[in-house]
């Protein structure tokens, strides 16, 4: 395969990854607590031993190597619902219990199940700072959630929300649109001990953190990626046409 084709195909593969990434962000632009995913790329010089000329034996290729999260805080939107809570600081998470163990989220649109248990929008129990579920009873009236996560009603204190942080949030593993698990330890299991309890996270009651996806920027980027992909495709088609013409002319000469 010609160098032009190698370079164009590597570019196309990267552009497809970019398009998938942008599509995921746009699909979650209204998801509470969602963090925009961005991509990292690298380029390198590859050896092409089959090239007929010395100057063609090195070609520059590009590859997507990883994704990372934009951890900036999204807009805080007030809902006035007493069970809606938002984290006003970055790199902090609520702890929830899932079938796969303790995981973490910034999506604070909580509810009560029929048994009075505080749960996430996906139905997972929200954990207290003691690692236990939080329950309300029918006699509990007005709910107050303070900035440090302490939950009280007109009857008394219910508990305190568990909010954690970590030194390098990029090490956390994505398990859902707004769910993460702790980084793996040496055994390959989630290392929840790496998560540090935050005493006063600055929780805002009656509010939700919106997605930090810039919809206009994402749409503009998608259009740019699409146009670039079309341009690369035209280059490939032109190169293929050139090769066909060359082979045809060589065939005529030999005939």
Kindly calculate the radius of gyration of the chain based on its CA atoms and give it in whole angstroms: 26
Which range has the worst mean pLDDT, 61-75, 153-167, 186-200? 61-75
% of the chain surpassing 70 pLDDT: 82
Position 54 confidence tier, pLDDT thresholds 50, 70, 90? very low
Q: Which of 5-14, 162-171, 227-236 ranks highest by mean pLDDT?
A: 162-171
Mean pLDDT across the stretch 231-253? 70
Q: Which of 19-33, 56-70, 223-237 ranks highest by mean pLDDT?
A: 19-33
Q: In the predicted model, is pLDDT for residue 15 greater than 80?
A: yes
Q: To 10 degrees, what angle do helices 215-254 and 3-27 make?
A: 160
Q: In the predicted model, is pLDDT for residue 246 greater than 80?
A: no
d(CA 209, CA 94): 13
Length of the chain, in residues: 255
In the block, tokens 């006003």 appear at 88
d(CA 165, CA 172): 11
Residue-averaged pLDDT of the chain: 85
Among 109, 119, 104, smallest CA distance to 82 is for 109
- Residue 177's pLDDT is 84
Among 42, 84, 123, 67, smallest CA distance to 204 is for 84
Q: Which of 18-22, 93-97, 217-221 ranks highest by mean pLDDT?
A: 93-97
Helix H, strand E, coil C: the string for the chain is CCHHHHHHHHHHHHHHHHHHHHHHHHHCCCCCCCCCEEEEEEEEEEECCCCCCHHHCEEEEEEEEEEEECCCCCCEEECCCCCEEEECCCCEEEEEEECCEEEEECCCECEECCCCEEECCCCCEEEECCCCECECCCCCCCCEECCCCEEECCCCEEEEECEEECCCHHHCEECCCCEEECCECCCCCECHHHCEECCCCCEEECEEECCCCCHHHHHHHHHHHHHHHHHHHHHHHHHHHHHHHHHHHHHHHHC
Domain ranges of the chain: 3-71+213-254, 76-209
- Residue 225's pLDDT is 87
Q: In the predicted model, is pLDDT for residue 4 greater than 50?
A: yes
Give, rounded to a whole angstrom, the gap between the first and last alpha carbons of the chain. 25
Q: In the predicted model, is pLDDT for residue 53 greater than 50?
A: no
- Residue 1's pLDDT is 47
Mean pLDDT across the stretch 90-116? 95
d(CA 125, CA 103): 11
Position 229 confidence tier, pLDDT thresholds 50, 70, 90? confident
């Amino acid at each position: 395969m010609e160098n032009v084709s190698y370079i164009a195909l590597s570019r196309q593969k990267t552009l497809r990854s970019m398009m998938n990434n942008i599509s995921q962000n746009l699909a979650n632009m209204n998801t509470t607590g969602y963090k925009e995913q961005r991509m990292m790329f690298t380029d390198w010089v590859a050896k092409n031993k089959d090239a007929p000329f010395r100057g063609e034996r090195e070609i520059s290729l590009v590859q997507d190597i990883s994704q990372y999260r934009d951890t900036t805080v999204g807009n805080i939107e007030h809902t006035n619902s007493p069970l809606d809570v938002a984290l006003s600081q970055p790199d902090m998470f609520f702890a929830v219990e899932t079938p796969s163990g303790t995981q973490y989220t910034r999506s604070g649109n909580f509810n009560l199940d029929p048994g009075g248990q505080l749960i996430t929008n996906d139905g997972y129990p929200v954990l207290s700072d003691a690692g236990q579920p939080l329950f309300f009873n029918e006699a509990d009236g007005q709910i107050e959630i303070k900035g440090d996560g302490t939950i009280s009603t007109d009857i008394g204190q219910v508990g305190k929300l568990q909010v954690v942080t970590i030194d390098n949030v990029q090490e956390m593993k994505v398990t859902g649109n707004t769910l993460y698990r702790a980084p793996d330890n040496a055994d390959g299991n989630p290392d929840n001990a790496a998560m540090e309890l935050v005493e006063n996270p600055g929780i805002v009651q009656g509010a939700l953190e919106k997605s930090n996806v810039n919809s206009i920027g994402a749409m503009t980027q998608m259009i740019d990626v699409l146009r670039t992909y079309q341009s690369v495709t035209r280059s490939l088609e032109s190169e293929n046409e050139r090769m066909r013409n060359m082979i045809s002319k060589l065939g005529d000469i030999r005939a």
